[in-house]
Amino acid sequence: MPHSERTPNLLLIVADDLGWSDLGAFGGEIDTPHLDALVARGQRWSNFHASPVCSTTRAMLMTGCDHHEVGLGNLVELMTPEQQGKPGYEGYLNGRAATVAQRLRAGGYLTAMSGKWHLGVGGESPPDRAGFERSFALLQGEHNHFGHDQTAENAGFHGVSQYRRNGQAIDYPVGGYSSDVFADEMIGFIDEARDDTRPWFGYLAFTAPHCPLQAPRHLVDRYRGRYDAGPAALRASRLERMRGLGLSTAEAVPAEIRGLTPWEDLPEADRRLESRKMEIYAAMVEAMDAAIGRVLAALERTGRLADTTIVFLSDNGPSGTLREELPGWRDWIQAHADNRLANLGEANSYVSIGPSWAQAQAAPFSLFKRYTTEGGIRTCALACGPGIQQRTENPAFLHVMDLAPTLLEWANIDSAPPPGRIAMRGRSAAGLLNGTAHELHGDAHAMAWELAYGRAIRRGPWKAVYLPPGVRKIAAEIPVRQWQLFHTASDPGETRDLAEQESGTLRELVAAWHAYAQEVGVVLEPGAAE
């Protein structure tokens, strides 16, 4: 049923570890017609920022608050002994902030979610206690994309995957592909609400293209040979397409691909393996796009699409971590996965995309998921529908915390916190997105990040970055435990460290970062330099 402009339907779609340039509308070669069409009737956000990893981004997305304030100070899987048990590091939504779903539901919306939750099982998690009237949720952060990990003998290294429908434990339909299953569940919720006169809020959270790299074989076959020239060639071709699209970042000096072995120096067997991994990855992205298309068709069939504002984003940059080389994971994969070339992509295989492809996907930005460089936190995002001005590109700085207050303004719901809850840090971008405002965060406003002892802070055109020692696994020459300074307005690739030339600016930013850390309760790395 159509709704007034003051109460649009809202659809929030999140991809998992999607690369900056994977979509066709951002310069990619992957077939993504449905998402590209959304850009064509709305706008792409070329300066959107999230957290370096998935659950911390999702915590901010759901609350509009900093993730340290609401219980996800660090990714649970990365929590250190110093952080465990500290306030803000509970590992689940701790109830200090109301979720956007709770606020929308209280304001008269029907609320539904399908997909990855990864916000814990205690406190106000899972989603049925976090404001969602209808929900189908994977509680953990990853799973087998065909559902072959729900028994002890088949469980992955992460354990048995847990699924809940409306709070009740259920079995995943084994053999169904994740993007299709999550879309089917959301379509079911849409059909159930056909005669419900309330405005509708849907949260669709895919696990694609998060590892393990698995996809329907017929889709993988569509990309055979597409990536045989290697990561550097892929990056070059994508940058060329970005220039053709007129993306504002396309003329930037791209970051170096760190730790890259020249493609021609790899043994032929390794090149075949790497090419196949990227073929599977591309198939995962195409399958997600097709699933989104079916959800949009369901909204149109039920008369809701024209009145639905849609926001799509990736939760962080592409993932460059090779699970096959991590202690514990390596042993499990060797014992349980069939990673012969001919079997890659099947339900019993387990490979990840790796740092070279991830850096190509993040170009022109530096590094990838887990790090506070632009490649880890600057993600592809787009929007269309009521309240969204149709334009090619919106280059204004936006943060994932801004989405919750924006959704509330679109819904005509007061964003002031309910009694006993903390206020949002994000700012409504409604005016920016409808063309009545030109910026949301002015040059005087600082935005800071911290994840697993990595740090960053941005103010206007300047950004300071502090990387943890683990980044040296990528390349030994990367500076760690020291502040670097970049003028990201002119150097989004973070290629020129201006810490010495602009020492006064750096001191101001570092002081502002420490004020932020104290305010939100960051647990600092023991013995780390200030």
pLDDT value at residue 155? 79
pLDDT for 155-186, tens place per residue?
A: 777 788 999 999 999 999 999 999 999 999 99
Q: Which residues form the catalytic set?
A: 54, 118
Question: Has residue 4 got a pLDDT over 50?
Answer: no
What is the model's pLDDT at position 530? 59
Residue with tokens 């960051």: 522
Mean pLDDT of the region 127-136:
97
Dihedral (C-alpha) 392, 241, 28, 397: value to the nearest 10 degrees? Answer: -40
Beta-strand pair 168-170/454-459: unpaired
pLDDT the model gives residue 124: 65
Q: By C-alpha distance, which of 245, 288, 240 is closest to 43?
A: 245
* pLDDT exceeds cutoff 50 at 328: yes
CA distances from 361 to 17, 70, 411 (A): 10, 31, 35
Non-local CB neighbours of 477 within 8 Å, separated by 6+ positions: none
| Cβ-based neighbours of 122, under 8 Å, separated by 6 or more | 90, 91, 92
DSSP-derived 3-state class of residue 323: helix
pTM for this entry: 0.97
Average pLDDT over residues 93-99: 96
Burial 268-293 (b: 16+ CB within 10 A, else e): eeebebbbbbbbbbbbbbbbbbbbbb
pLDDT value, residue 1: 34
Inform me whether the pLDDT recorded for 3 exceeds 80.
no
Q: How confident is the model at residue 259, as a pLDDT?
A: 93
Confidence of residue 460 (pLDDT cuts 50, 70, 90): very high
What pLDDT score was predicted for residue 158? Answer: 75
Domain 9-520 belongs to what topology? Alkaline Phosphatase, subunit A (3.40.720)
State mean pLDDT over 330-355.
Answer: 96
Residue 528: other Cβ atoms inside 10 A: 12
Tell me which residue has tokens 């404001």: 131
Reference 288, options 146, 203, 185, 180; nearest CA is 180
**pLDDT score, position 327:** 87
Tell me the pLDDT tens digit for each residue of 80-95: 999 999 999 999 999 9
CA 203, distance to chain mean position in Å, is 14
Interval 27-41: pLDDT, tens: 999 999 999 999 999
Percent residues over pLDDT 70 in the chain: 98
pLDDT class of 255 with cuts at 50, 70, 90: very high
**Judging by beta carbons within 10 Å of its beta carbon (0-12, 13-18, 19+), is residue 195 exposed, middle or buried?**
exposed
- The β-bridge partners of 486 are 463
Mean pLDDT of 484-502: 97
Is 529's pLDDT higher than 60? no
pLDDT reading at 2 higher than 50: no
Looking at 24-28, 60-64, 148-152, 399-403, which range is the least confident one?
148-152
Question: CB–CB of 208/288 below 8 Å?
Answer: yes
Question: Is the predicted pLDDT of residue 46 greater than 60, yes or no?
Answer: yes
Task: Assess whether pLDDT exceeds 80 at residue 24.
Answer: yes
Average pLDDT over residues 463-468: 97
pLDDT at position 57 is 98
| Rounded mean pLDDT, 302-311 | 97
Provide the mean pLDDT of the chain.
Answer: 95
Structure tokens at 263: 């493609």
